[in-house]
Every structure is written in C-alpha cells, then in structure tokens.
Structure 1
Amino acid sequence: MTQSVIESSLIKFISVENIVRTNTKEPLMIESESNLIFMYFVQGAARVHAGGEEFDVKKGQMLILNEDAKASLVVHRKTEWVQIVSSGIMIASANRAFDVHQFIVIEAKNHFIKHYIDSLILEQHHAMAGTAYIQKYLFMCILYHLFVEYELTYKAVTANSRQGQIETIIQYLKDNYAKNIQLDQLAETFDISKYYLIQQFRQLTGYTPIEYLIQIRIHEAQRLLVETDLPISDICVQVGFRTQSYFSKVFKRITDYKPLAYRKKFQ
C-alpha cells in the first residue's frame, strides 16, 4: 500500500492508495467523512452496501462516495482498487458535476482513465521534486474523463427517467402550490440534488422550480380574482403567499396589474 498527500488552493487534501484484498470475512467499512472518495476497480469485484442499497462494483468501474457517506465492501476473490480521497473546493465541483447524492457508479473503461490512474500510482513510487503538482494534474485529468463518461452514459441512460421525475415534480407543485414549499425540501422529497433539480427543471420549463411555483400561484390568483368575489387578502393566503404586500408586488411584476385593478378590468 502506498500513499501520498497533495495540498493546493483547489485540492486541500488528496490521498492515493493502491489496495488489494483477497477475501474479507468481515465487511470492509469505508467512511468518507468530509471527503469525496473515488474507488477505481482494477480487477475483481466487490459487493457494496451504501445509501441503503446493495450493488456490485466490478473491474473498470468507478465508485464515487459523497462526503459523509458510509459504505461496506465484501470481497470474495482477489480484488484490487485504487482509492483517491479529495476534499476542499473540489468537493462542491464534483458533487455538482456528477450529481452525487450518497454514491454513484460510473463505467470508467475509457483507456485514458486507466492511463492516468496508472501514472498517478507510478508517480508515488518515483517521488521527487514536483511530484505533488504532477499528481494534482493527473487527478484533474481523471476527473475530466470521468465527467465525459458520465455525460455519455449515465446521463443518456437516465434522461427519460429524469424527465419523468421533473414532470412528477411539476404535478406535485400544481397539487401543493398553497403550501410553504422550499427548494431544499423539494429536492429532499424527490431525492435529487437541488443543483441538478434547478438545471433539469429550467431545461424542461424555462423556469427554476420556485419560479414555476410562483407562476402557478399567480395563475390561480388570476382565476380567483375573475371568477370569485373573495377578498384579496383571502386569495393571497389561498394561493400560498404569506403577506398581501408581497403577493401584490409579485402579481404586478408578472401581470402588469395590481390585484384589484386586474379584478376590475377582467371580472
């Protein structure tokens, strides 16, 4: 087992280990703590339990564990993997790029990935002046090619299911617009990264989830102003706004009318 440490403004800490296990009678526990862990399987396979799920990871695949994630591995034959641990600014960037919740498995059979990982390990065996900078560069190359693989495979495979999920969220907003819905709560309810939720939602609708929610509320307020004689204060609460002043401000911005003026013109 070999290990090295790199520190820079972009990657505060990175360790690289070449790990070989023949058989694990007890599950091997891995805790990412405040780090992001990349595990590239060189040979063999492992049964992994993470995020409440069990799955197999095999040769040529990269398992990425999010910060504060926990995983257990069971190995039944000789298995080798390269484990890279990163923290710092890279955490947020990688989380957004790979849409990592607790974990994600990426097909990493691109020969460039294997080449850069081999070079990363080789640099440790021939450590000299400048090794840390070379390893940092190699790690960035690995991330780049992983992202390419993710874009070409994972996103393509899940595009339809993601669209279906966004459509489900849209229906949820239509059914619950009067409730106090926050972006974090929405992302948690549907088990999706809020950054990815914003990106996919805007791509499908042209709005962020909260902007779309406000459009629903204003559309319903328009209907109530025209079809009922409810007081504006009641309509404000009924469509999900907390204060009448904010409701009037948003209504004017979207429709070019204040609520009372809209009622007088269209009722």
Structure 2
Amino acid sequence: MNPAATPPPPAAGRFPLTAHGALRVPEVALAFWIVKGLSTAMGESTSDALVNSSLGAPVSVLLGFIAFVGALTLQFRTARYRAWTYWLTVCMVGVFGTMAADVMHVALHVPYTASTIFYACVLAAVFILWSRTERTLSIHSIDTPRREAFYWAAVAATFAMGTALGDFTANTLKLGYFPSAALFAGLILIPLLGWRFLRGNPVLCFWSAYVVTRPLGASLADGLGKPKNASGLGLGDGPVALVLTALIALLVAGLAVTKRDVQREPAAVSGAEAVEPSAVEAP
C-alpha cells in the first residue's frame, strides 16, 4: 500500500470508525493461535457459568449481547489494531456466540445437527458475500470499515457454528468432551500440514484452522468444567472461566506492551494477490 495514498487521520472529535489504510487485526503467529484457543474455551465456560447462574438464561443472554455490542463498538472506535480492544471483542464474541448456539438448542429445541448446519450456511454466506464484495478473504487486508465488518461477521459465525459442532460430536454422537477435543485437534493439523508441506492456499488454510479452534476449545472447556457424570472433570464452569480469563489477560498484556503482534507490512489486497504464498497465514 502506498503511504502517500493513505488519507489523513480524522479530525479531532470525529468518530474514527476504522481508519482506511490501518490494519485492524494482529499478525498471525503462535501468540495469535494461543490466545484464540484460550478465548474459545473461555467463551464456552463463561457462557455456561452465566446461563446456569442465578441470573438465569434470559438475563445472561441479554448481558452477553450488550457486552458483545459494547466491545465491538470499542473496536470500531479504535482507528487501528490495539491488542486490548481486539481480544476483548474476540472474547465477547466467544461468550455471545456460545449463547446464540445454545439458545437454538435449549430454548428453541433445535437439534445440534440442524443448528450446526444452519450456522455453517450462515458462515458460508458471509464468506461468499465478503469474497464477491472485496475480492479477498485475507486477514492481511482488513484495512477498511467494510472489510472489518465482514471479518467480525465471519468470526461471530465461526464461534456459533463451532459451539454447535462441538456439542454435536460430544452429545449427539456420544463421543464425550475429551474424545471430541482429540478429534478436532487432529482435524486442525490438516490445514497446518496442507499449508506447510503441500503449498495449500494460505487463506483457505487459515480460515479452516480458525473454524476448528472453536469446537476444540469448547470441548476442552466443557471437559474441564462439566461434572464427571457428563464425561467431564467436574472443576466447574465458573472456576475454569476465571482461570482462562486470567491467562488471556496476562498474554494480551504482554502483547500490548511488546507489540510483537502488530502487522508491520500491509499485504496486497487484490483478489489475485490475496491467494499468493506471500500473504502467508499459517496456522
């Protein structure tokens, strides 16, 4: 991207709404996947702890939605990538995305099979519309308000679908939580090995791994928190959520200080360039 073509920063007092030319997401490296994995598990355990608390499901879902909208508003008000606002938004998507998937099953009595297919269709629709509109799905091209809106829509859909998929394997297929986690841990190796050894499309490999991190994290969180008679370890959803939140806070604090995950070089944003190996998005 030509720096000379970058528009000037917004005037004082104006709502920045994702400054054009400013990358809005972190560099995809090991720290990204660690925090992403923890956030998926934290979203699952926090959602279950709140829904099963004295607040009740309706109030918890409402609070989850308010927190999600609030975090997303903060993210859009920040003109470029900031570790705290970005990962806060991811975590709130994790909590509310879990609630959205669970509401379909618990309140509307939709089978996990149907809800998994539904959210998979929603995710596919987001990807198709995003690709046709922007000609790229690359995480290295999130530098305009519209692209960021597509990005967060895709993230929310992956969380909801991943939650339903994890419950489908654990409950509908009767695999249990830890065997489900082992299944998804194996599946996540496919895009990794495909990118590293078979020169797979980096964008496709990235989003494939991103989708699978959700059921993997959710299965692990359920395995730790759920009672032993439900194939869990019985540690409790609340304690698991608190420990995971603390770990995320420590890691994000480190990223905020070191800024090691800030993307330094904007990648090409054309549709043809977005699929080249130079735009590496390795899981």
TM-score w.r.t. length of structure 2: 0.22
For CA contacts below 8 A with separation 6 or more, give which structure has more relative contact order: 2
Structure that is richer in strand per residue: 1
TM-score w.r.t. length of structure 1: 0.23
| Larger Rg computed on CA atoms | 1
